[in-house]
Amino acid sequence: MARRSSRPDLLRQALAREAARLMIEHGIEDYGLAKRKAASRLGVADRAALPNNLEIEAALAEHQRLFGPAEHEQELEAMRRAALEAMRLLCGFQPRLVGPLLAGTATAHSVITLHLFADTPERVAVLLLDRGIPYEVAERRLRYQRDTVETCPAIRFTAGDYEVDAVIFPPEGIRQAPLGPVDGRPMRRATPEELAALVGGPPSQAAAG
Protein backbone atom coordinates (compact mmCIF):
# COMPACT_ATOMS: atom_id res chain seq x y z
CA MET A 1 0.00 0.00 0.00
CA ALA A 2 1.47 3.36 -1.01
CA ARG A 3 2.29 5.76 1.79
CA ARG A 4 0.43 9.04 1.65
CA SER A 5 2.55 12.15 1.61
CA SER A 6 2.31 14.21 4.78
CA ARG A 7 1.57 17.92 4.69
CA PRO A 8 5.23 18.85 5.38
CA ASP A 9 6.31 16.56 2.54
CA LEU A 10 3.82 18.17 0.15
CA LEU A 11 5.03 21.62 1.17
CA ARG A 12 8.67 20.68 0.56
CA GLN A 13 7.73 19.29 -2.85
CA ALA A 14 5.83 22.47 -3.73
CA LEU A 15 8.80 24.61 -2.66
CA ALA A 16 11.22 22.43 -4.65
CA ARG A 17 9.05 22.72 -7.77
CA GLU A 18 8.76 26.49 -7.39
CA ALA A 19 12.52 26.83 -6.83
CA ALA A 20 13.14 24.74 -9.96
CA ARG A 21 10.73 26.90 -11.98
CA LEU A 22 12.51 30.06 -10.83
CA MET A 23 15.89 28.62 -11.78
CA ILE A 24 14.68 27.65 -15.25
CA GLU A 25 12.65 30.76 -16.05
CA HIS A 26 14.76 33.43 -14.35
CA GLY A 27 18.26 32.06 -14.72
CA ILE A 28 18.91 31.65 -10.99
CA GLU A 29 21.90 29.36 -10.50
CA ASP A 30 22.22 29.51 -6.72
CA TYR A 31 20.13 26.83 -5.01
CA GLY A 32 19.93 28.76 -1.75
CA LEU A 33 18.64 31.89 -3.47
CA ALA A 34 16.11 29.87 -5.47
CA LYS A 35 14.67 28.17 -2.40
CA ARG A 36 14.46 31.46 -0.46
CA LYS A 37 12.63 33.13 -3.35
CA ALA A 38 10.31 30.14 -3.61
CA ALA A 39 9.54 30.34 0.11
CA SER A 40 8.82 34.06 -0.20
CA ARG A 41 6.49 33.52 -3.17
CA LEU A 42 4.58 30.76 -1.37
CA GLY A 43 4.50 32.62 1.96
CA VAL A 44 6.55 30.04 3.86
CA ALA A 45 8.54 31.40 6.81
CA ASP A 46 9.63 28.12 8.40
CA ARG A 47 13.20 27.37 7.28
CA ALA A 48 12.75 23.75 8.34
CA ALA A 49 10.24 23.39 5.50
CA LEU A 50 12.81 24.29 2.83
CA PRO A 51 13.82 21.48 0.47
CA ASN A 52 17.44 20.42 0.21
CA ASN A 53 19.46 20.86 -2.96
CA LEU A 54 18.99 17.26 -4.06
CA GLU A 55 15.22 17.73 -3.92
CA ILE A 56 15.49 20.87 -6.04
CA GLU A 57 17.72 19.11 -8.56
CA ALA A 58 15.13 16.31 -8.81
CA ALA A 59 12.41 18.92 -9.34
CA LEU A 60 14.52 20.54 -12.06
CA ALA A 61 14.84 17.25 -13.89
CA GLU A 62 11.09 16.59 -13.49
CA HIS A 63 10.20 20.06 -14.83
CA GLN A 64 12.46 19.55 -17.84
CA ARG A 65 10.88 16.16 -18.57
CA LEU A 66 7.36 17.55 -18.38
CA PHE A 67 7.71 20.95 -20.04
CA GLY A 68 9.39 21.13 -23.42
CA PRO A 69 11.55 18.00 -23.16
CA ALA A 70 12.51 18.14 -26.85
CA GLU A 71 13.62 21.76 -26.55
CA HIS A 72 15.57 20.94 -23.40
CA GLU A 73 17.39 18.07 -25.13
CA GLN A 74 18.25 20.30 -28.08
CA GLU A 75 19.58 23.02 -25.79
CA LEU A 76 21.53 20.48 -23.76
CA GLU A 77 23.17 19.01 -26.85
CA ALA A 78 24.04 22.45 -28.23
CA MET A 79 25.64 23.44 -24.93
CA ARG A 80 27.56 20.18 -24.69
CA ARG A 81 28.90 20.60 -28.23
CA ALA A 82 30.00 24.14 -27.34
CA ALA A 83 31.69 22.70 -24.25
CA LEU A 84 33.53 20.18 -26.44
CA GLU A 85 34.80 23.00 -28.63
CA ALA A 86 36.09 24.83 -25.57
CA MET A 87 37.70 21.67 -24.24
CA ARG A 88 39.46 21.08 -27.57
CA LEU A 89 40.83 24.61 -27.39
CA LEU A 90 42.02 24.06 -23.83
CA CYS A 91 43.23 20.48 -24.25
CA GLY A 92 46.68 21.36 -22.91
CA PHE A 93 45.14 21.97 -19.49
CA GLN A 94 43.38 18.60 -19.07
CA PRO A 95 39.89 20.13 -19.13
CA ARG A 96 37.02 18.51 -17.27
CA LEU A 97 33.32 19.36 -17.50
CA VAL A 98 31.41 19.71 -14.23
CA GLY A 99 28.07 20.98 -12.98
CA PRO A 100 24.52 21.08 -14.35
CA LEU A 101 25.56 20.60 -17.97
CA LEU A 102 27.16 17.28 -17.09
CA ALA A 103 24.25 16.31 -14.83
CA GLY A 104 21.75 17.12 -17.58
CA THR A 105 19.86 19.78 -15.59
CA ALA A 106 21.39 22.84 -17.28
CA THR A 107 18.96 25.53 -18.43
CA ALA A 108 19.22 28.05 -21.25
CA HIS A 109 20.64 30.48 -18.66
CA SER A 110 23.38 28.14 -17.41
CA VAL A 111 27.06 28.65 -18.04
CA ILE A 112 29.46 25.91 -19.10
CA THR A 113 31.70 25.14 -16.14
CA LEU A 114 35.12 23.63 -16.78
CA HIS A 115 37.97 22.68 -14.47
CA LEU A 116 41.45 23.32 -15.88
CA PHE A 117 44.83 22.37 -14.46
CA ALA A 118 47.81 24.68 -15.00
CA ASP A 119 50.92 25.93 -13.23
CA THR A 120 49.55 29.48 -13.38
CA PRO A 121 46.29 31.09 -14.58
CA GLU A 122 48.38 33.25 -16.88
CA ARG A 123 49.11 30.27 -19.11
CA VAL A 124 45.40 29.93 -19.85
CA ALA A 125 45.08 33.67 -20.40
CA VAL A 126 47.98 33.68 -22.87
CA LEU A 127 46.37 30.92 -24.93
CA LEU A 128 43.12 32.86 -25.16
CA LEU A 129 45.01 36.04 -26.07
CA ASP A 130 46.87 34.20 -28.82
CA ARG A 131 43.54 33.02 -30.24
CA GLY A 132 42.03 36.50 -30.03
CA ILE A 133 39.38 35.41 -27.53
CA PRO A 134 38.26 38.10 -25.05
CA TYR A 135 38.06 36.96 -21.44
CA GLU A 136 37.43 38.18 -17.92
CA VAL A 137 39.39 37.21 -14.81
CA ALA A 138 37.40 36.14 -11.78
CA GLU A 139 37.57 34.07 -8.60
CA ARG A 140 35.45 31.17 -7.41
CA ARG A 141 34.96 29.99 -3.83
CA LEU A 142 34.94 26.19 -3.52
CA ARG A 143 34.75 23.75 -0.65
CA TYR A 144 36.98 20.74 -0.10
CA GLN A 145 35.61 20.13 3.37
CA ARG A 146 32.27 21.29 4.74
CA ASP A 147 33.90 23.92 6.94
CA THR A 148 36.74 24.94 4.61
CA VAL A 149 36.41 27.33 1.66
CA GLU A 150 39.21 27.96 -0.83
CA THR A 151 39.40 30.66 -3.49
CA CYS A 152 40.44 29.59 -6.98
CA PRO A 153 41.21 31.76 -10.02
CA ALA A 154 38.82 31.55 -12.95
CA ILE A 155 38.61 32.86 -16.49
CA ARG A 156 35.31 33.56 -18.21
CA PHE A 157 34.91 33.66 -21.98
CA THR A 158 32.39 32.87 -24.72
CA ALA A 159 32.17 29.64 -26.73
CA GLY A 160 29.61 29.99 -29.50
CA ASP A 161 26.41 31.25 -27.91
CA TYR A 162 27.38 30.23 -24.37
CA GLU A 163 29.46 31.56 -21.50
CA VAL A 164 32.29 29.39 -20.21
CA ASP A 165 33.47 29.61 -16.63
CA ALA A 166 36.89 27.94 -16.45
CA VAL A 167 38.13 27.41 -12.90
CA ILE A 168 41.89 26.90 -12.73
CA PHE A 169 43.55 24.48 -10.33
CA PRO A 170 47.21 23.53 -9.88
CA PRO A 171 48.18 20.37 -11.80
CA GLU A 172 47.88 18.16 -8.71
CA GLY A 173 44.31 19.42 -8.24
CA ILE A 174 43.14 16.86 -10.77
CA ARG A 175 43.42 14.21 -8.08
CA GLN A 176 40.86 15.78 -5.72
CA ALA A 177 37.67 17.46 -6.84
CA PRO A 178 35.97 20.09 -4.68
CA LEU A 179 32.61 19.34 -3.11
CA GLY A 180 29.54 19.91 -5.26
CA PRO A 181 26.82 22.35 -4.16
CA VAL A 182 24.03 19.82 -4.65
CA ASP A 183 25.04 16.73 -2.66
CA GLY A 184 28.19 17.87 -0.84
CA ARG A 185 30.23 15.09 -2.45
CA PRO A 186 33.32 15.46 -4.67
CA MET A 187 32.20 16.84 -8.02
CA ARG A 188 31.91 14.45 -10.91
CA ARG A 189 34.34 15.52 -13.64
CA ALA A 190 34.02 14.41 -17.27
CA THR A 191 36.88 14.19 -19.74
CA PRO A 192 36.43 15.33 -23.35
CA GLU A 193 36.10 11.67 -24.37
CA GLU A 194 33.30 11.10 -21.85
CA LEU A 195 31.50 14.24 -22.99
CA ALA A 196 31.89 13.25 -26.64
CA ALA A 197 30.18 9.96 -25.83
CA LEU A 198 27.21 11.86 -24.37
CA VAL A 199 26.66 13.82 -27.57
CA GLY A 200 27.54 10.99 -29.93
CA GLY A 201 30.63 12.70 -31.30
CA PRO A 202 33.96 10.99 -32.03
CA PRO A 203 36.13 10.96 -28.87
CA SER A 204 39.22 11.47 -31.03
CA GLN A 205 37.90 14.87 -32.13
CA ALA A 206 37.16 15.91 -28.57
CA ALA A 207 40.66 15.03 -27.47
CA ALA A 208 42.51 16.16 -30.53
CA GLY A 209 42.64 19.93 -30.16
Which pTM does this prediction carry? Answer: 0.82
The pLDDT of residue 10: 87
The domain spans of the chain are: 7-67, 70-208
Helix and strand numbers (H, E) in the chain are: 8, 5
User: What is the pLDDT of the chain when averaged over all its residues?
Assistant: 89
**Spatial CB neighbours of 205, under 8 Å, sequence gap ≥ 6:** 84, 88, 196
CATH code for the part of the protein at 70-208: 3.30.460
Q: pLDDT tens for residues 174-200? A: 999 999 988 899 999 999 999 999 987
Among 191, 181, 95, 111, smallest CA distance to 142 is for 181
pLDDT tens per residue, range 10-57? 898 999 999 999 988 888 888 889 999 999 999 988 888 899 999 998
